[in-house]
Amino acid sequence: MSRRVVVTGVGAITPLGSTAEQTWTRLKAGKSGIRSIEDFDASGFATRFAGQIAELPQLPPHWEAARARWDEADLLDRKTRLALGAAAEAWAQAGGEHGSTTRIAPPHRVALCLGSEGGRRLLEEVAVRAVRFRDVPIAEVVPHLPRGEWARMRASHPTRVLATELGICGPTRTVCTACTSSGGAIAEALYLVRAGVVDVAVCGGTDTLVEAFMVSGFSLLGALSERNDDPARASRPFDIDRDGFVLSEGAGILVIEAEEHAKARGAPILGRLLGAGLSNNAFRVTDSPPDGAGPATAMRLALVDAGLPAEAVAYINAHGTSTQMNDVSETRGIRRALGSHADRVAVSSNKSMLGHLVAACGAVEAIATVLSLRDGILAPTRNLEHPDPDCDLDYVPGVARVVPGGFDVALSNAFGFGGSNATLALGRG
């Protein structure tokens, strides 16, 4: 029988906060982390706002020395710095110390699985479509595309840095599947712990795509909201007036481990990782399937993996991007996966407040789900004022909801550019 897996540490840096708890507190309060872009001149763009981290947080003193060492070698980019910050929080909560796994497990019994943007290979698709549909001269686009080994190496660089700084000698993985990267990384970590390959895994994701080329590229594709007069109301999943997603940045890291191992060392148990489901739409690269079949498959597989019926699910942390097709596809996918029980399940989207953290979204939203299960509180879907008739579930509009007595099982969805889907089944600790 495979081992049961628990969550013993979480860390997050997002536009809503420099820790997981701070982010969760503001999610519950319905706060928005979306604001006008300040890091570069976006005055000429159709979209001039995003979910930005105003200031990178200070790392603990023993981590600051590591930061300086990598920085001196010009190997510490923004997304790696965010991953370090989130990992420092999660690792400390789980009982770890910098540079060593020995307080948690032998180094070879700890794995690291991290989702990160894949060398920006999808950037070329954005560029080609921008040229094709908006008549942008290709000569203005191509020089900005990272190519070759350096571009590929950048995707796995945060993984290498974290493995070094945590002293992890077990399996390491970098998952690059766009918006499902960190959801897939958490699933990979679950499989390794369950199978007994390791006792502990550090997993999650990091991404920082709020930069001129990405904002302009997605804007040219018509994928981003253009509600420049009111950025806080721009991300509006499941609302009839939604006009695109909001690009964001951040990192989320979880420490997971075999339950018997966590109990033996007296670790805090924040929640349970019950199962995972992965699928592909085999549809178009840029669109979700109208019938929701691919997302439904991921949700069903997660429940099968967890050994749970559809009726066990009380809440779904939706991918909920605020794009026309995704929100409809996800709604239909939930109905296909849960059948009539879908009408009794609460669904909400953290992206209505955080924006879309791309490769990091699955991890940050999984952390929010763990804390939601812990507290018995459902974060709301912000800006849902005029529901789309094709989006007909209970989306917890506007205000957080307290669940009397709490609830035991939730799903957390992530669906990616390129057709990949990842669903995590999570349980109360």
Q: Which positions are annotated as active-site residues?
A: 179, 319, 356
State how far the alpha carbon of 153 is from the alpha carbons of 150, 174, 177, in Å. 5, 11, 15
332/330 Cα distance (integer angstroms) = 5
Q: Which helix (H) or strand (E) holds 245?
A: none
Q: Output DSSP code: residue 45.
A: S
Tokens of 296: 């439904």
Tokens of 319: 């991918």
> DSSP labels for 133-160?
HH---HHHHGGGS--HHHHHHHHHHHHH
Please, what is the end-to-end C-alpha distance for the chain in angstroms? Answer: 20
200/8 Cα distance (integer angstroms) = 10
Burial of 182 (0-12, 13-18, 19+ CB in 10 A): buried
